[in-house]
Amino acid sequence: MSNELNAVARELVAKGKGILAADESTGTIAKRFDTIAVPSSAENRRAYRDLLFTTSEVENHISGVILYDETIRQSSADGTPFPELLASRGIHPGIKVDTGAKALSGTDDEKVTEGLDGLRDRIMEYRELGARFAKWRAVITIGNDIPSRYCLEANAHALARYASLCVEGGLVPIVEPEVLMDGSHTIERCFEVTSRTLHQVFGALYEQRVPLEQILLKPNMVISGSDCAVPASKEQVAEMTVQCFRRHVPAAVPGIVFLSGGQSDIEATVHLNEINKLGNLPWNVSFSYGRALQASTLQAWLGKADNVPAAQDAFRHRSMCNGKATFGEYTSEVEQQAGV
């Protein structure tokens, strides 16, 4: 099993490819659909995911898809279960297994992610349904006197327990400690908090005996807060991100798949490209994007069957642009290529 998990982890971060995060909860995708005035019915959610998963040639740039509990049980229009459809295209099906970030007792503004109860049994069921990897997201907020050490330790412990259970159950765990962009903090403050977070997470993974060769890390980039008065340049983002991760992420980890974390689709691609342009990194560096891969697709689709080809063109194009960014080969010319 250890060889299988390592192989899946490496395939997920193969050069030129990355992960589509299509694991929005029912509530979150309803908010996305609200922006295009589409009702969030089970059939509309299924049709939209079907649009994404059947896009031609997308397997050239998408190595895995993170699904939600509802989605892993749904099927394509021809009756093929989504996990089977993805696997037939050489795309690994994955699954979100946490139950969301909840208020951390004893704090005013901090959260801890829940979902460990019953997780061993859920992992067994998801593997039977076709999943080959999983995801658990921890949420770290930057603010006055936070994050506290208590918050970092609580989330790191939960992430490590989840990862240990995934390895035991035969799923590659994607470990996602997200330091949120929300706020007016500088890139230097983000560097400090991201460093503390990664230090705690890898310490907990060691304590829980998680083999690092069988995991992937899905972190935030080191970036200015969304309301920062003087945002850092793309070069600063790349340099400080690489500096931070070289200090705290062991080379045994097969790959880092960055989250977009509130960046626009273009920003997320540009920053990933700049990181890979620096070269000589000890891990494969790729993407696991949700909104940054789907925003243009949703706007092209608008819930109309006639718009499916245009929406698939948009998804194929964004996937291709991010695939290029994993080589550091994304340019404005690539962005302007036909297909949008």
Query: Catalytic residues, which ones?
Result: 176, 218
Tokens of 164: 């240990």
How far lies 110's CA from each of 138, 148, 161, 218, 292, in Å?
11, 8, 20, 20, 26
Q: Which residue in the block uniquely carries the two structure tokens 């949703």?
A: 298
Tokens of 241: 């991100």
Within 13 Å and on the Cβ side, how many CA atoms surround 97?
Answer: 34
Q: CA-CA distance, 324 to 55, in Å (whole number)? A: 18
Following CA atoms 160, 166, 169, 172 in sequence, which dihedral angle do they give, to the nearest 10 degrees?
-140
To 5 degrees, how large is the angle CA 188–CA 192–CA 197? 145
b/e per residue, 135-168, with b = 16+ CB within 10 A?
bbbbbbbbeeebbeeebbebbbbbbbbbbbbbbe
Tokens of 224: 């200015």
